[in-house]
Amino acid sequence: MRAIKKARRIIETDPSSDAAKALTSLILALETDAHFSFKQLYELQMKDFELMIEVMNDWRLDRYYEGKAKAISTALQAKSIE
């Protein structure tokens, strides 16, 4: 499973978790050039930290356009819940 799809599932499953909040912030920052605090990365468990690095790699490669669109939509929904 691709990192972006994993991220979307984490956000959908529990949007209030620290990992989901960090992933939401990261995805929205990558898409909109908004500010992202790297401090959020270092406060996560290692597996979530590694997933965020994978998301950034996938995003940079821009190979997963459909997955990105779904992840952006999910992140925007999670952000509106806060």
pLDDT of amino acid 67: 67
Helix (H) or strand (E) holding 38: none
Q: CA 7: distance to chain centroid?
A: 5
Task: Please identify which residue in the block is written with the tokens 């468990």.
Answer: 45
pLDDT, tens digit, 9 for 90 and up, residues 51-74? 999 999 888 776 556 667 777 788
- End-to-end Cα distance, the chain: 28
Domain limits, the chain = 3-81
Please check whether residue 78 is in contact with residue 14, taking contact to mean a CB–CB distance below 8 angstroms.
no
pTM of the model: 0.73
What CA–CA distance (Å, rounded) separates 19 from 29? 15
pLDDT of amino acid 2: 84
What CA–CA distance (Å, rounded) separates 67 from 36? 21
